[in-house]
Amino acid sequence: MSLSIYDVAITPLLAGLTTLSTYLDKAEAYATDNKFDPSVLVNARLAPDMLPLAGQVQRASDSAKAAVGRLTGLEVPSYADTETTLPELKERVAKTIALLQSVPKEKFDGGESRPVELKFGAHAKTFRGDQYALGFLLPNFLFHVTTAHAILRHNGMKIGKIDYLRSFTGAAG
């Protein structure tokens, strides 16, 4: 059995976005149950020089959207980073999931060899699609999903490793 670039890149992006959606639902319930303003979580960060929860969700969304464009050559929408509430962040994640699901798997055919140029300040690097997916896209995307998990856990939410892995593994419960 061979794996396609869709299997390698888009399938885990959908799983990670599903995890974020679940976390945002749990965050809303956590704030309600504990009678505090949910904006505390939206604006929470692990360190002063790190993005808050909202920024982590936005960057994960941006990474997933960019992957569609970079691996297919299709134009993808741009979302302004204006979300300030948990429901707004959840809507952004839902729009991103819908975008990924709307692109037929066949559109990714050949994406593993498509050149992908990334700019890092004044420098640019060109990757093959498979190198981009494995060496930049997935590590970067998963960094933001993991950091969102850490922010919520640091703020007292009862989430653990299985909550993170559930969407990736299909584990029940």
DSSP letters for the chain:
----HIIIIIHHHHHHHHHHHHHHHHHHHHHHHTT--THHHHT--SSTTS--HHHHHHHHHHHHHHHHHHHH--------S---SHHHHHHHHHHHHHHHHHS-GGGGTTTTTSEEEEEETTEEEEEEHHHHIIIIIHHHHHHHHHHHHHHHHHTT----HHHHHHHHHT---
- Of the candidates 21, 85, 81, 78, which has an alpha carbon nearest to the alpha carbon of residue 51? 81
Domain positions in the chain: 5-169
Specify the pLDDT at position 63. 98
Structure tokens, 11: 């399938």
CATH of domain 5-169: 1.20.120.450
Is the pLDDT at 89 greater than 60, yes or no? Answer: yes
Encode pLDDT of 94-148 as tens digits. Answer: 999 999 999 999 999 999 999 999 998 999 999 999 999 999 999 999 999 999 9
pTM score of the predicted model: 0.95
Is the pLDDT at 171 greater than 90, yes or no? Answer: no
Structure tokens, 39: 């904006």
Encode pLDDT of 51-80 as tens digits. Answer: 999 999 999 999 999 999 999 999 999 999
d(CA 118, CA 116) in angstroms, rounded, equals: 7
Specify the pLDDT at position 170. 81
CA atoms within 13 A on the CB side of 105: 7
Encode pLDDT of 151-162 as tens digits. Answer: 999 999 999 999
Is the pLDDT at 172 greater than 90, yes or no? Answer: no
Average per-residue pLDDT in the chain? 96
d(CA 133, CA 68) in angstroms, rounded, equals: 11
User: Residue 45: what residue type?
Assistant: R
Encode pLDDT of 28-56 as tens digits. Answer: 999 999 999 999 999 999 999 999 999 99
Encode pLDDT of 5-30 as tens digits. Answer: 999 999 999 999 999 999 999 999 99
